[in-house]
Amino acid sequence: MTTSLGAAPAALAGKIVTPGDRRYALLRSTYTTTGRPAAVVLAESADDVVAALRLAREQHLPLAVRSGGHGLSGSATNNGGLVIDLSAMRRVDVLDRAARLVRVEAGARWAQVARALAPHGLAISSGDHGNVGVGGLATAGGIGWLVRHYGLTVDHVRAVEVVLPDGTQVRADPATEPDLLWVMRGAGAGAGIAVAFEIEAVELSDVGFAQLVARVDPAGETLRRWEAVVAEAPRELSTAVMLSSNGAEPLAFITAVVASGNPSTIQRAVQPLLGIGDVTLQQAHILSYPDLVSPAHLHPNVGQMPSQTTNGLITEMTPDVARALVAASTGSAPALVQMRSLGGAANDPDPAATAYAHRHQQTLIVASTFPPHGRQALSAAWEAVAPYTDGAYVNFESRPDESTFARAYPGPTGARVSELWKHYDPDGLLRHPAGG
């Protein structure tokens, strides 16, 4: 699909990249999806975002908004439309060190945020990869390496600077726009374009980092013991597990992060993981937080990782769930299965406090397939797991649809999200097929 761009506003002079521009090849795509937009606007301010929105409306162009472009859905690009790229908006400022309040622009990557906050002894739990953009994560949830200690990123967002689809610039905080703040913390993509966040950070410089490998038995008892250990662990411990099969027997590659630089605290948190089964401790050491979400992660996104992904949350690793996960990760076309521990601080907030309502589940399960295996293989692998899931996280879905919306925003939460999306974006300029 090819769309020619008409006359652009003077305010965007020099900031519009079209297919004839040498920069276009590095800006047209996301991490998972090769796009062919008519133009990419390199916004440098909220006023530029307003001008880009006006351009999209006037020329009837489909719209995509990009903070980092790491999103699995590929919705940060399109074919024949306009992409608003926020990557030039990446300032990070400490507003109040005593209150640990920082302002982060939406186009920053989390590696840049970690590096900017490190001299102040502060950190924000922010996903697990330094190249992820702030805006896409901080408006959806934020399940990161510190999730059981810190909670989700949205739990600590105190205000959001938003450009609404009609071009109005609004500060959403508890006093001035509480409804907008509520929806921007978990379902922001359908309400407005976040250009900056005020976030309460945590005192943290160093973390414990351990990697372990465990054999997983066919019944998945290893996985049940892993969940039990994490449930009893100090909140400083957060873990992620990747299941990879070589034939019928999968291996669990476990990454453990402890929100402390104290060696004895790290040892006490990690040691029980050695008892979940046939485990090898590969390495354990202390890292600075910026080394965990490293600037080495920063790279252009050029569609280099095509994949299909889905996810679900579970409340308990029952025997049936464990067997289903083993089945999904083995076989002729296995999925790559990842599990991330929740609980702890992530489950402290009232489910109604933010648009991310999942506050009782203990584990996030993510399944992905890669070429030559596609959506059909993913569906076949996920079929055994799906009946046991209880909700979903919107950012780990490559084809969001109405079913995704219902799982990510259940019951009254979904009704309120839909109402607010229609209130702030009555024409549906920002809405993708995920619902509303």
Does pLDDT of 386 surpass 60? yes
Does pLDDT of 436 surpass 50? no
User: Contact 101/120 with Cβ under 8 angstroms?
Assistant: no
Write the pLDDT tens digit of every residue in 39-54. Answer: 999 999 999 999 999 9
User: Contact 334/328 with Cβ under 8 angstroms?
Assistant: yes
* 248 CB neighbour count, 10 Å cutoff: 9
Write the pLDDT tens digit of every residue in 302-352. Answer: 999 999 999 999 999 999 999 999 999 997 789 999 999 999 999 999 999
* pLDDT value at residue 433: 42
The token pair at 210 is 């351990």
User: Contact 384/324 with Cβ under 8 angstroms?
Assistant: yes
Does pLDDT of 115 surpass 60? yes
The residues, ordered by sequence, that sit 6+ positions from 112 with a Cβ below 8 Å of its Cβ are 90, 92, 130, 295, 298
* pLDDT value at residue 5: 75
* pLDDT value at residue 4: 64
Write the pLDDT tens digit of every residue in 229-275. Answer: 999 999 999 999 999 886 678 999 999 999 999 999 999 999 999 99
Find the mean pLDDT for residues 95-106. 98
* Percent above pLDDT 70 for the chain: 97
* pLDDT value at residue 435: 37
* pLDDT value at residue 391: 98
Q: Which domains does the chain have, with CATH numbers?
A: 14-85 (3.30.43.10), 92-204 (3.30.465.10), 206-408 (3.40.462.20)
The rounded distance, in Å, linking the Cα atoms of 93 and 434 is 33
The rounded distance, in Å, linking the Cα atoms of 436 and 427 is 11
* pLDDT value at residue 406: 97
- Residue, of 16 and 281, whose pLDDT is higher: 16
The rounded distance, in Å, linking the Cα atoms of 137 and 383 is 27
Q: Considering the chain, what is the average pLDDT of its residues?
A: 95
